């Protein structure tokens, strides 16, 4: 597909997702890069269209100070969350040198790519469930990470 057709389809997909958000009553803003910011259940998500696809992102929703001992817990919690949620998620991490401590800060974001077409039945429910899945992923990760950290601090006794 040539660049002009991709751009035209991306614009149609952008208009479709904006129309769906409007029908659902979700507040939106569009920036100069055509990224859409949408509010759902008190959370602001970002999304953008490319051709007939929309990528949803829940950007940097948690920042964790991670030392060498807890990095394994973080990796295990990410892997367990990816296996247990019904949606495919990618976790991105960005390390920053924390000036006040010897730890790094890891920021976690989740994404979800979907095909969006007007012929898909129940489009509003489909989009609402995508946003809900991103919130569910947050909650699953936080519970899993907390459980792993508690388990490391208080290992079970061997009897």
pLDDT tens, position by position, 126-155: 999 999 999 999 899 999 988 988 876 554
pLDDT-derived band at 93, boundaries 50, 70, 90: low
In the prediction, which pLDDT does 135 show? 92
- The beta-strand segments (E) located in the chain are 28-30, 36-40, 43-50, 53-66, 91-92, 95-97, 104-115
49: left (phi over 0), alpha (psi -120 to 50) or beta: beta
Instruction: State both tokens at 15.
Output: 């208009």
Q: What is the pLDDT of residues 2-19, one digit of tens each?
A: 889 989 999 999 999 999
pLDDT at 90 over 60: no
Q: Domain-by-domain residue ranges, the chain?
A: 3-153
pLDDT-derived band at 156, boundaries 50, 70, 90: very low
Shortest CA distance to 103 belongs to which of 141, 69, 150, 60?
Answer: 69
Shortest CA distance to 74 belongs to which of 23, 149, 150, 11?
Answer: 149
In the prediction, which pLDDT does 151 show? 76
Say what percent of the chain tops pLDDT 70. Answer: 81
Overall CATH class of domain 3-153: alpha beta
Cα(56)–Cα(155) distance, integer angstroms: 38
Cα–Cα separations (whole angstroms), residue 99 to 1, 74, 104: 48, 21, 9
């Amino acid at each position: 597909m040539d660049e002009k057709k991709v751009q035209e389809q991306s614009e149609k997909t952008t208009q479709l997702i904006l129309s769906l958000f409007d029908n659902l009553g979700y507040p939106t803003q569009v920036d100069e890069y055509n990224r859409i910011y949408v509010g759902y259940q008190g959370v602001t998500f970002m999304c953008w269209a490319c051709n007939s696809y929309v990528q949803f992102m829940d950007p940097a929703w948690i920042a964790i100070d991670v030392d060498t001992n807890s990095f394994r817990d973080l990796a295990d919690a990410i892997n367990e969350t990816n296996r247990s949620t019904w949606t495919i998620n990618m976790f991105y991490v960005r390390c920053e040198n924390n000036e006040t401590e010897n730890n790094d800060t890891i920021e976690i974001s989740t994404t979800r790519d979907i095909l969006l077409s007007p012929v898909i039945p129940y489009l509003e429910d489909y989009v609402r469930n995508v946003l809900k899945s991103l919130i569910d992923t947050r909650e699953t990760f936080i519970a899993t990470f907390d459980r792993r950290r508690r388990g490391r601090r208080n290992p079970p006794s061997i009897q």
